[in-house]
Chain A
Amino acid sequence: MSGPLTGEPLALEARNITKRFPGVLANDSVDFALEKGEIHALLGENGAGKSTLMNVIYGLYSPDEGQICVDGKEVAIRDPNDAIAHGIGMVHQHFMLVPVFTVAENIVLGSEITRGPTLDMRQAERQIRRLSEEFGLQVDPQAVVEDLAVGEQQRVEIVKALYRDARILVLDEPTAVLTPQEADDLFRIMRQLTDRGVSIIFITHKLKEVLAVADHITVMRRGRVVGTTTPEETDEQGLASMMVGRDVVLEVDKSPAQPQQIVLEVQNLSVQDERGVVAVRDVSFEVRAGEILGIAGVQGNGQTELVEALTGLRAPQSGRILLDGREVPFHNPRYLIEHGVAHIPEDRQKHGLVLPYSIADNLVLSTYYREPFSRGVQRRQRPINARAGALIEEFDVRAPGAFTPAGNLSGGNQQKVIVARELSRRLRLLVANQPTRGLDVGSIEFIHRRMVQVRDEQIAVLLVSAELDEILSLADRIVVMYHGRIVATLATAQATRDKLGLLMAGSGL
């Protein structure tokens, strides 16, 4: 543990925090020390206990053992109001804003300034302007929140915490929803905040960001603190090993592709989004057996609609989709499933899983009606359970058992359940949309390895990802989508981050 470098007391100290849930030790004697004016990254895989620790600090859980000290004094935090009273503010990953309210209304919500029976919004707006100047956070108090970009909404959340006199800010996965440009802005803001004495706990699992912005890094694994370090003392490899508890391969190890015949052929496909706006315009491409075709692009450039059309979830306006040379019917997921199309969906909780269902039921979600999982209309539990046991083992799903509800699993394990289900069928084509978004290093490594393995089994793979690193390390060929069109097709060997970045931003070569 690092002690205070200055004589000042620690901004926040959690001592010996233990929190048990039935069957799980979520925090096991955790110590955590936050110095005044520092950015302290809390790093760990999903399920490592970061969220539990923060919930304890923010008063959402009461710990079974341990104390919390703010400014060197022990405090009792029974609920978020106590936390706010002690100067602790939290910015959740999913923003807690009322979309139709203005920025000022959102910020004062719950601690409104009143004059007699009426709200004094002028006064509130003045205070917000002062705060945003003091901390270098540009927000327009009169703007309506739903009109703001995600990055701006996040700034509103930060100002909301500062408005309540937060001196300690907990930022929960703040960059998960941001573009790289917005993330850089956020880091600049974080620096300005710490320069003015605010202390920040930065929760993340992105190693590059941690190294770029943190003063101290505390790594958690399985409910315990593994250690605290600084960016100078370590590197990506070192942090990844600390998080996972073993050496991690960050690079994807793969041999050159040996593409064979065309499996998926898309001809002049146009697709509308739900508002009737054309999202995919006249797109044509093909994917061959034994290759990974990567679709790069900033989110919202038609990738979602394209994948939904290819997997039968959305009816295209025009064009043709051919699988092994045969035209497929539109809007028919079962036809595609029966003809060997697997789909790792973008939103695993919306499409990929039925959260209250057991792992076993989720694993037969698309094959439940076939032998041996049913006979006639009667479901047969024994083969379903046997299959679940085998897949849980093969895909290393960490769960108490096959009957555990999928909703009780961490994000990484939920994704492994989906991958297990999709890859355990007879396969011709795998469509993977953002397959590793929000996952921890261990799970990403695992899923990447399986995708390369699938490719080497002469299956066609279509990978859609907003993460350039993922596209560059996995894909054999890359197409770039911009405003619903394919603006370039290139071999990965010829692609660089800069080149792709320009294409994704719509500037031609």
Chain B
Amino acid sequence: MTLRNSSPGDIARRLWRSASVPIGSVLLALLIGAIILIVSGASPVEAYRALFRGSFGDAAALGRTLEKATPLIFSGLAVAFAFKAGLFNIGAQGQLLFGAVTAAAIGFMIEGLPPLIHAPLALLGGALAGALFGAIPGMLKTYTGAHEVITTIMLNYIAINLTDYLANGPLQDTTPGNIVARTPAIEASARIPAIGAIPLGFVIALLMAALAWWLLWHTTIGFEIRTVGLNPSAANYAGMRVSTTIIVTMMLSGLLAGMGGAVETQGIIGRFQPGFNVGLGFDGITIALLGKTHPLGVIPAAVLVGAMRAGSNLMQFNADVATEIIDVILAIILFFVAADSIIRWILRTRAVSEEKVTLSTGWGQQ
């Protein structure tokens, strides 16, 4: 019996098999978007050119794209990571908010620290806050059997209102003349800078994606997480601690979301202000799906969505197209990713039949 190691050709084929549907979906959605543009009297060529220039055209455009993509990578990672343990974390939004407010608190309350200590401290604080908030649905699931979809939705409301209260009360910016619910601006030492056009937060996001990938496929913890996700009965049979694994997974998922909130606070907004982070956590579900719930797939998915959001302003300005068309195109992309048989039929990939083939089996045992 020979052991086949993954050759480059093998890897390329596997990559194509998992990437073909998202890529096909994007192209088809752009095509349908073009038809909509023509119908509404705009020039699709001009619109898409503006969209591209606004997202990748120059260093500033690229910087905007990566800035928009960064929190999406974090929330996409959070959702994808939990998914590997069979958990649907709808609560990335709430975990992200706690991360954002905690990083802001550490950022403005402590003064006089060197940046090399202050910024990482705020980042870790935000990550920890997200992890703790993520642990709650994990524990509710293991100890009471409450489904994480329900509890994380509920906890999102708690997070939204609690952080609202914090920004309105105990943590409110007391500068004379301020009537807005927001925290004071964080110290310069807590800010996460950009290196040229590339935001440092984006680099941290890439590192976390690589770390998540390594953790899932190259560590014993990742093996436990994936086993629990694929077959909890077998995990229990093999001596794995299923409930511990579920709590740990939810904590790590919350940690990723919380870190996303912290990076947003420290890298972009500079303080916590309710309403500024809304939607980033929910976008994580979109990004995770588009990235085929793979930690590395999340990166191109987030960059794509970030680019479309970043380029939409120039598109509106140059081609006189409402930015809402971007949301329409994004929705169409997602639609095709979810209904992947349409794309498979267009591409005529045999991925489906190959996956379904059983080399040999008894009746009905499939």
Contacts and interface: CB of A to CB of B under 8 A. Distances in A.
Interface of A: 21-24, 26, 46-51, 54, 92-94, 172-173, 203, 311-313, 333-334, 336-338, 343, 345, 349-357, 361, 365-366, 368-369, 374, 377-379, 385, 388-389, 392-393, 399-404, 407-411, 413, 438
Contacts, number: 134
Interface residues of B, number: 33
A385 B234 CA distance: 21
Given A334-B239, A355-B231, 17 more contacts: A22-B350, A46-B362, A51-B362, A93-B364, A173-B362, A173-B363, A336-B239, A343-B237, A351-B236, A353-B234, A354-B227, A354-B231, A354-B235, A378-B218, A389-B3, A400-B359, A410-B361
Contact of A368 (B1, B4, B223, B359): B223
Contact of B363 (A21, A51, A374): A51
13 contacts: A21-B359, A22-B350, A22-B354, A47-B360, A47-B361, A48-B360, A203-B363, A334-B241, A354-B231, A393-B1, A402-B1, A410-B359, A413-B360
A329 to B, nearest CB: 13
B358 A408 contact: yes
Q: Which of B2, B221, B222, B363 has the most CB of A within 10 A?
A: B363
A354 B231 CA distance: 6
Interface string B332-366: 00000000000000000010001001111111110
B238 interface: yes
Contact of A389 (B1, B223, B230, B362): B1
Contacts of A411: 361-362, 365
B318 interface: no
B236 A92 contact: no
B360 A46 contact: yes
Given A173-B364, A351-B233, A377 B221 contact: yes
B174 interface: no
Given A51-B361, A51-B363, A400-B359, A337 B239 contact: yes
Contacts of A48: 360
Interface string B60-93: 0000000000000000000000000000000000
A244 B222 CA distance: 41
Contacts of B239: 312, 333-334, 336-338, 366
B175 interface: no
A368 B220 CA distance: 7
B227 A365 contact: yes
B220 A379 contact: yes
A354 B230 contact: yes
A153 B220 CA distance: 45
A401 B4 contact: yes
A357 to B, nearest CB: 7
Nearest to B365: A411
A240 to B, nearest CB: 17
Contact of A172 (B241, B360, B363): B363
Nearest to A48: B360
Contact of B230 (A312, A356, A392, A438): A356
A136 B4 CA distance: 56
A365 B357 contact: no
B234 A50 contact: no
A447 to B, nearest CB: 16
B18 interface: no
A46 B236 contact: no
B219 interface: yes
B361 A350 contact: no
Contact of B357 (A22, A338, A350): A22
Contacts of B364: 92-94, 172-173
Given A357-B230, A388-B3, A393-B1, A409 B362 contact: no
A50 B363 contact: yes
B246 to A, nearest CB: 16
Contacts of B233: 350-351
Contact of B360 (A24, A351, A357, A402): A24
Nearest to A400: B359
